[in-house]
A and B are shown apart, each in its own frame.
Chain A
Amino acid sequence: MSSRRSRSSRQAASSSRITEQQVRELVSKLQTLLPGQPPLNNDNDTASTSRVLREACNYIRSLHKEVDNLSERLSELLQNTDNDTELEAVLRRLLM
C-alpha cells in the first residue's frame, strides 16, 4: 500500500487521482467505526466527507471523556476495596 501511495497530494494530477480514491476508501472505513451513521451518500463527496470528519472529531472527544470518567471510577473503586486481592483476581481472569 505504501509503495502505491504518493508522498504528497500536491503532486501531478495522475497521482492526485490515486490519492482521491484512497481518501474516499479511508473515509468510508472511518465511517464504519463511528456510531450511528446513515449510509454514505456517494454523490455528494465533499459534504459527506466533512460530515464524517466532524463526526470523527466528536467521537474522539467523547472517547477521551469516557477514558477520563473511567479513570476516575477505577480510582474510586480501587481505593475502597482491598486492593491487592481484587486486582489480582481481575488480572487472573483477564489473562487466562
Chain B
Amino acid sequence: MNSKKKRTLANPNPRNPMQAFHFLRSLSRINLSTAPFHKRCRAIRRAAYASMARSASPNRAWSHAVLYQLHRRRRRPVPVQARCKTHQNDALRRLLPGGEAMDTCRLLEETIDYVQRLRTQVKLMQEIVDSVKDDAVHEEKRQKEEN
C-alpha cells in the first residue's frame, strides 16, 4: 500500500525496550489535538520523566523521587538529620532527584543510572521527532504528486 521508503527506528536502548514502550504509551494517551500548546508540551515532558522512572530498577531512589514529584508536583521534603554535609557533591545532589539524603557512594551509583536513562530518553525523543518529520515530508510529497 505504501510505496515510500520508511525509516526504521532503531531502539536507542535495546537492553531496555520498556522505556520506549512506556513513553509511547503515555504519548498516545495525551489528547494531542485539543489541548493548548503549553499544556501538551508539559504533558509530554512529564511523560518523558515518568517513563524514565517507571522503567528504572525499583531500588533506584531517583526513580521514586521523580514519580513522587510528578504526582505531588513538589519535592519530597527531606528530614534535616538525613541531609549530608559534603560540599563537593552539593551541586550534584541538588540536580539528582532524591539526592539530598544519600552518601557519596550511593549518589554516584544513582547518578550513573540517571544519566544513562536521561540519555536514552533524549535519543528516543529525537528518533520520534525525526520520524514524524520524515513522515510529514513524505506525506507532502505524496500529496503533491497526486495533485
Name A residues whose Cβ lies closer than 8 Å to a Cβ of B. 5, 7-9, 19, 22-23, 26-27, 29-30, 33-34, 49-50, 53-54, 56-57, 59-61, 63-64, 66-68, 70-81, 83, 86-87, 89-91, 93-95
- From B96, B126, B129, B135, give the contact of A89 (CB < 8 A): B135
Question: B121 — nearest CB in chain A belongs to which residue?
Answer: A67
A-B contact pairs, 23 of them (CB 8 A): A9-B104, A26-B112, A34-B115, A53-B92, A54-B91, A60-B95, A60-B115, A63-B118, A63-B122, A67-B118, A71-B41, A71-B42, A71-B48, A74-B128, A77-B133, A79-B40, A81-B132, A81-B139, A86-B132, A90-B9, A90-B24, A91-B24, A93-B9
Asked if B44 contacts A75 (CB within 8 A), the reply is: yes
* Contact partners of A76 in chain B: CB under 8 A: 37
Asked if B119 contacts A81 (CB within 8 A), the reply is: no
Interface residues of B in 103-120 (CB under 8 A from A): 103-105, 108-109, 111-112, 114-116, 118-119
- From A23, A90, A91, give the contact of B104 (CB < 8 A): A23
Name B residues whose Cβ lies closer than 8 Å to a Cβ of A. 6, 8-9, 11, 20-21, 24, 27-28, 32-33, 37, 40-42, 44-45, 48-49, 88-89, 91-92, 95-96, 103-105, 108-109, 111-112, 114-116, 118-119, 121-122, 125-129, 131-133, 135-136, 139
| B59 CB, nearest partner CB in chain A, Å | 9
- From B8, B48, B103, B109, give the contact of A9 (CB < 8 A): B103
